[in-house]
Structure 1
Amino acid sequence: MTEAALLPAPPLEKRDWIAGLEKGLAVIEAFDDQHPRLTASQAGARCGLTRTAARRYLLTLAHLGYVGTDGKLFWLTPRILRLGHAYLESARLPRLVQPFLQRIAGGTQEVAYLGVLDGADTVYIARSGAHRHMNTGYMLGSRVQAQVTAAGMAILAGLGEALADQWLQQHRLSTYTPYTIANPDELRAELAQVRRQGWALSEQQMELNYRGIAVPLLDRNNAVHGAISITMPINQEHRDDAVKRLLPVLQEAARGLRPLI
């Protein structure tokens, strides 16, 4: 996410606005892990539509194969993955970073990720390495509130103090563990530290016994485009040892990517 991504969207002429497209996308976004199956009434309530209107959108999506239904409930089908897959196939940044993630994984025996900022969340759009713990790790497209990830902290710090403050004003901070930084003032202090040192360390912010280390991806003009990170169990490895082992590898990759972004 660059600085421009935090600014308001450019104005759109009324004649160019397609309200039906906006509403159809809102219906798709009504589904999540807490709402995997919805009635037309529930979908309408979640996206500000009447039951009748929501039902028409859902039936259209079902006809196109993006939604399944038993006549009462609706749910997303695997075809919806075409939308996200199209981004991963066409976006330049994941393809550019992927070979570097492979080298990081090969050199550290850890899983390496590329994360970007989307609203309140870090979204992971590339990863590499076969995780030693198969029940853990972020999948492609995983979304996690930015302040509890090392990648999100590296990106927020890289945006600069003014834009980071703007982000803080726009989003509510959730608490996940006793270690989560959910106080805006404490988070500002932590971001200032990350900004000074040029890298981020996150311990047990999202999940107990897990640690993340990240560095921002900057271009020639020092604009931040994302962050590369490693997330792994803390186990018996001291934080200083983990930083000493992993940070130089991440920093070398970020330096190699800088002239390419």
Structure 2
Amino acid sequence: MYKTVQGVQRGLQILEAINDIGCRATCNQIAVLTGIHRTTVRRYLETLVSLNYVQRSADDTFFYLSPKVRKLSDGYRHESVHSTKTLELMNELTAHVMWPADLSTFKLDSMLVIESTHRTSRLSLTSSMIGKRLPMLMTASGKAYLASCSDEQRTYIIDILKSGTSLDSRLAQDDAYVRRVLSETKRKGYGQNSGEWDEYSKIASIAVPVYVQDEIFGSLNIIFHRSYMTPDEAAAKFHDYMLDKAQRIGESLRI
């Protein structure tokens, strides 16, 4: 039996504390929350800053988690999250609407598709979507997630997009555009896109949020040809049915 490494344990405790405190944390707050002496906390913070897992404010008062922290979960396999019931419900959705569906969750700086019916849908526009990353501000799934998460998480995500090199970086810096997208999505109750993402300029999509125990988990979308119907037409036909499936999928997820 190997002994635990205290340094690793303390470093992770400090990262967890900053995450629990929220957008900005002081050295004293972290010390109180973790029970680690303030001087020791400060020493660990300097190390985490040098490794770019933590960022500091200009006046050296506050500390923030950096986008690099998201990479720590990049190898996490979402297959363990959902069950056969999840796919069964998604297949029922596709059978009803005739178009393929995707289940995605936020990861790093985009929505990651973790389950899909593209491989079984006769109207699929691609062979597979599992593992595909969807831009946050160009896709229905990303918009639905952003409009449904907490203000704190939304601000954090937008900040990541602004400072990154993702496809959303330019759009995230346009505050008027972001406000307009969020307002429209909240008003309608679903996210939508119709050719905004150049890689899939011929398709449209609508998406609804998926909650697990009242916490936002991800988005459920359907994808269809733009020439077949508009997002609003799709929503008029399928929105209520999608909401029911999203609720039942949320109940099927193992978190």
- TM bracket (short chain): 0.5 to 0.7
Which ranges of structure 1 fall in alignment gaps of 5 or more residues?
A: 1-11, 19-47, 49-82
The match for 1:120 is: 109
Paired residues of 2:191 and 2:206 also in contact (CA < 8 A): yes
SS of 1:93's equivalent?
A: coil
Alignment of 1:1-261 (within 5 A): 13-16=6-9, 87-89=77-79, 91-93=80-82, 95-129=84-118, 130-132=120-122, 136=126, 138-172=128-162, 183-206=174-197, 207-221=200-214, 223-261=215-253
The one-letter amino acid of 1:215's match is: V
Cα distance in 2 between the residues matched to 1:231 and 1:13 = 49
1:242 deviation in Å? Answer: 1.8
How many angstroms does 1:134 deviate by? 5.8
* Cα distance change, pair 144–97 in 1 and its aligned pair in 2 (3 A): same
Alpha-carbon distance between aligned partners in 1 of 2:143 and 2:108, rounded to the nearest angstrom: 13
Work out whether residues 99 and 124 of structure 2, in 8 Å CA contact, stay in contact via their aligned partners in 1: no
Return the TM-score normalized by structure 1: 0.59
Q: CA 1:250–1:158 in 2, change beyond 3 Å: closer, same or farther?
A: same
CA distance in 1, matches of 2:143, 2:213: 21
How far residue 102 of structure 1 moved from its aligned partner, in angstroms, is 0.7
Aligned to 1:26: none
Question: 145-154 or 134-143, which moves further after superposition?
Answer: 134-143
How far residue 193 of structure 1 moved from its aligned partner, in angstroms, is: 2.6
Q: Distance in 2 between matches of 1:110 and 1:88?
A: 23
Count how many residue pairs are aligned between Structure 1 and Structure 2: 181
Q: Distance in 2 between matches of 1:147 and 1:158?
A: 13
Letter in 2 for 1:185: A
Deviation of residue 106 (structure 1)? 0.8
The question of whether the paired residues in 1 share the 8 Å contact of 2:99 and 2:123 is answered with no
Once superposed, what is the RMSD of the aligned Cα atoms? 3.2
Report the Cα offset of residue 123 of structure 1.
Answer: 0.5
Q: CA deviation at 1:95?
A: 4.3
> What is the TM-score when the length of structure 2 is the normalising length?
0.60
Deviation of 1:160 (Å): 2.7
Distance 1:151 1:94, change over 3 A: farther
Give the direction of change, closer, same or farther, for the CA distance of 1:171–1:228 in structure 2 (3 Å limit): same
